[in-house]
A and B are shown apart, each in its own frame.
Chain A
Amino acid sequence: QVQLVQSGAEVKKPGASVKLSCKASGYTFTTYAMHWVRQAPGQRLEWMGWINADNGDSKYSQKFQGRVTITTDTSASTAYMELSSLRFEDTAVYYCARAGTVTAGTVTTSPFGYWGQGTLVTVSS
């Protein structure tokens, strides 16, 4: 069965960076895109960006452009999301989610059918 297992909770100081991981299993990693979505306490879901796990092409929300980097290690079936210059308002649960089928390098939209369990990132001085 498809599983996305995320790394553990992090506590960071303002200005620091955090790098989260998302290990996939139960499917061929390179046949889907991987997205990162965050949710601040009591707030809405907020899409951050995604990566084509086949060719490594990535796309980011304008809100996070310049601060977020999504990468993959295909040999480990793992996606990573690094967020830099952390602010208090970056305190949130960060989810990875599988969506978008990859065929011949092209991503076709598909539902966010599988989600990781979430990683809480707390930014505190």
Chain B
Amino acid sequence: QPVLTQPPSSSASPGESARLTCTLPSDINVATYNIYWYQQKPGSPPRYLLYYYSDSDQGQGSGVPSRFSGSKDASANTGILLISGLQSEDEADYYCMIWPSNVVFGGGTKLTVL
């Protein structure tokens, strides 16, 4: 079972941007897969935010603001979630996911909006 590595925590101030990363193991090429991102707040199920494959193949979840966006860093074999114009309501846990043959979630990043 592959492991997706996410930093356990990240913080930024309101109005700033947060860049959350999801690093794939070296034997899985990030360019090959959709990277899905989910937001989870305490006591609630995860909420689908978006997926990113490439600039021409990406999608936003229903009702998800455009200040949430995805990208990849091929050199680091990493998927990226960028949240611009941070708001206090963005404080949550964020999980990445891939779906090769089986579904794999990352360990999650707790985002604190200071």
- Check A46–B1 contact: CB distance below 8 A: no
Q: Check A47/B102 contact, CB under 8 A, given A111-B61, A112-B38.
A: yes
- Is B104 interfacial (CB 8 A cutoff)? yes
Report which residue of A46, A50, A109 has the largest number of chain B beta carbons within 10 angstroms of its beta carbon: A109
Q: Closest CB of chain B to A87's CB: distance in Å?
A: 19
Q: Closest CB of chain B to A20's CB: distance in Å?
A: 14
- Check A59–B48 contact: CB distance below 8 A: no
State the CA gap A119–B62 with chains docked (Å).
Answer: 25
Q: Check A44/B106 contact, CB under 8 A, given A62-B1, A109-B34, A113-B61.
A: yes
- Is B105 interfacial (CB 8 A cutoff)? yes
- Check A117–B45 contact: CB distance below 8 A: yes
Leading 5 A-B pairs by shortest Cβ distance: A115-B45, A47-B103, A45-B105, A109-B99, A111-B48
Q: For A44, give its contact among B1, B36, B47, B105 (CB under 8 Å).
A: B105
Q: Which residues of A contact B45 (CB under 8 A)?
A: 95, 97, 115-118
State the CA gap A62–B36 with chains docked (Å).
Answer: 22
- Check A61–B1 contact: CB distance below 8 A: yes
Q: For B105, give its contact among A47, A62, A116, A118 (CB under 8 Å).
A: A47
State the CA gap A45–B105 with chains docked (Å).
Answer: 6
Determine the interface band of chain B, counting residues with CB < 8 A from chain A.
Answer: 20 to 34
Contact mask B72-111 → A, CB, 8 Å, 1/0?
Answer: 0000000000000000000000010101011111111000
CB-CB nearest in chain A for B6: A44
Q: Closest CB of chain A to B103's CB: distance in Å?
A: 4
Q: Check A113/B48 contact, CB under 8 A, given A62-B1, A63-B1.
A: yes
- Is B46 interfacial (CB 8 A cutoff)? yes
Q: Which residues of B contact A97 (CB under 8 A)?
A: 45
CB-CB nearest in chain A for B59: A111
CB-CB nearest in chain B for A93: B45
Q: Closest CB of chain B to A6's CB: distance in Å?
A: 10
CB-CB nearest in chain B for A100: B99
